[in-house]
Structure 1
Amino acid sequence: MKKFNSFHLVDLSPWPIFTSFSFLSFALGVIIMVRSFNCYPFLFSLFLLLFSSFLWGRDVHREGCYEGSHNFEVTVGFKLGMIFFIISECFFFLGMFWAYLHLAEIPDVSIGGVWPPVGVSSFDPKGIPFLNTVLLVSSGISVTWTHHAMEEGDFKFSLVSLLVTVLLGSVFTMFQLLEYYVASFTFSCSSYSSVYFMGTGFHGLHVLIGSALLLICLFRFSYLLISPNHSVGFECSVWYWHFVDVVWFFLYLVFYWWGV
């Protein structure tokens, strides 16, 4: 069939609908794991999600790098899609902040009428949370340097700077897990602990996703598959990482400093 527009018409693919159902099963797996402490549905749905995402990304990579289907109009569509996705994520975390501030402003009698609740020892904002803030801010600077060096044609510096960004994100994740390990409360202790683990946990999940995206870009950099004129995937990954930085800054102010 003759094409009467400049957009790329993708071939029929099972991965979008398969990935959608994988996301649904992943959410259900999280609920099952939290309520009944059964992690097998969660691990199975996580495997399906990673599997479908890998195959979908492989097809998109093939269309852009080897078939030359990603022209200017297609890349603009990718960028607009990423912008709308980040906006939807902003409203997702807005719900977390709304819940925290609402519960903090009107603490229930069942938790002692105070916030944090009686018996809950909140974290020192000058400890691990501050260190994690420094790590994420540093990673935001390093990934910006990566983008700038790529536009200047310095791919060696881009590779090193992007590697530093991935390492900083990995260290952040390890310190966040350490914070969970030494916490004096669990997910089901109170409304404070529930909203704390939901907010910081989902942010940690976004850090893992962002680290995985940047790690993929790192491999693409090493094989010279990214250039200033062919970098929409890397640019979207950088936007996502900056979004993760900004969300953590507000999480740090609200969850750790405010009301402690």
Structure 2
Amino acid sequence: MASVQHGPEHYYVPESSPWPIVAMVSALLIVFGLALWINGITVGSYISIGGFILLGVMFYGWFRDVVRENLANVYNEQVGRSFRQGMFWFIASEVFFFLSFFGALFYLRFIAMSWMGGEGYLAMTHELLYSGFEAVWPSAGPEPTAGEFTPMGAWGIPALNTAILLSSGATLTWAHWALKKDDQKQLIWGLVATVVLGLIFVGFQAYEYVHAYRDLNLTLEQGIYGSTFFMLTGFHGFHVIVGAIMLLAVLGRAVKGHFSPHNHFAFEAAAWYWHFVDVVWLALFIFVYWM
């Protein structure tokens, strides 16, 4: 379908794009591959890696097309509002995505654990199924099979990562101030600092995972604590990686001088996403590591 554009007062309709389909396929490969890999099927790792590669191709192609449209000056104010609404609803969907996992953690920790421990109207069920089980968090459940484990503490790498991610939010805000006053040098250095801090965060989280498996026997096999810990922190780490990719694309455009104080939605979208990631991490630090 050819693009539709009859002047700045008309809404720009782009040509048909393959990138939503590519995004769907890459997400399917990543999730399917990880599911196989976690269950000990080696081919799953290759499927998942292929999905990540395809995801990178999608990001590059989709960003390239949108940048070309922006530089061609085919967008008007209504298109800009549509972009902002789209980003708002995308982040809203991510909020509910993480809320589902936080809700599962809350249910397991404060409702299911007490039932399994014999409290409430399920006390008889406790005697029949889980006699002797102590409902103390963190727990691998009533019948752990992977041996004793040590929960991940809040102080150390998690606290350091909290400081790093909050600092990255500050450097990104510093870059935003620079963009508003048309200071290209400060904008670029602010984005560089934000990306570097984000990558350091991911590096520390990878080290934390190695430490958990090697020294704490904290694995995905450790029942409800292990599964909720790795699902929440793992998905957050993936979002940090995606946010870093977005900021790298914005950094490349900033170096080329694509942004002005009145035309920088790409920067704003990446900044909104990054600040959302910051807020999610604060909730993770409090409810997963600290409490």
Residue pairs, 1:26-65, within 5 angstroms: 26-38=30-42, 39-65=45-71
Q: Residue 250 of structure 1 aligns with which residue? A: 283
* Structure 2 CA distance for aligned equivalents of residues 156 and 18 of structure 1: 36
- Determine if the alignment matches structure 1 residue 114 to structure 2 residue 150: no
Runs of 4+ in 1 over 3 A off after TM superposition: 1-5, 108-112
- Determine if the alignment matches structure 1 residue 179 to structure 2 residue 231: no
Residue pairs, 1:10-159, within 5 angstroms: 10-38=14-42, 39-65=45-71, 67-105=72-110, 106-107=112-113, 108=116, 112-117=134-139, 119-159=148-188
Shift of 1:229: 2.0
Pair member with larger Rg: 2
- 2:5·2:13 contact (CA, 8 Å) conserved in 1? no
| TM score, norm. by length of structure 2 | 0.83
Structure 2: gaps (5+ residues)? 118-129, 141-147
Q: Secondary structure at the match of 1:181?
A: helix
- Name the amino acid aligned to 1:197: F
- Name the amino acid aligned to 1:26: I
Q: Which one scores higher on RCO, CA 8 angstroms, separation ≥ 6?
A: 1
Shift of 1:168: 0.7
- Determine if the alignment matches structure 1 residue 9 to structure 2 residue 42: no
- 2:5·2:12 contact (CA, 8 Å) conserved in 1? no
Shift of 1:136: 0.7
Q: Secondary structure at the match of 1:36?
A: coil
Deviations 1:28-79 (A, max 9, x none): 22222222343011011211222122112211111111x2112211111111
| TM score, norm. by length of structure 1 | 0.93
Q: Secondary structure at the match of 1:70?
A: coil
* Structure 1 CA distance for aligned equivalents of residues 50 and 246 of structure 2: 21
- 2:30·2:48 contact (CA, 8 Å) conserved in 1? yes
Q: Percent identity?
A: 38
* Structure 2 CA distance for aligned equivalents of residues 2 and 154 of structure 1: 33
Q: CA 1:55/1:192 → structure 2, altered by over 3 Å: closer, same or farther?
A: same
Count residues with an aligned counterpart. Answer: 257
Q: Residue 191 of structure 1 aligns with which residue? A: 224
Structure 1: gaps (5+ residues)? none
- Name the amino acid aligned to 2:136: V
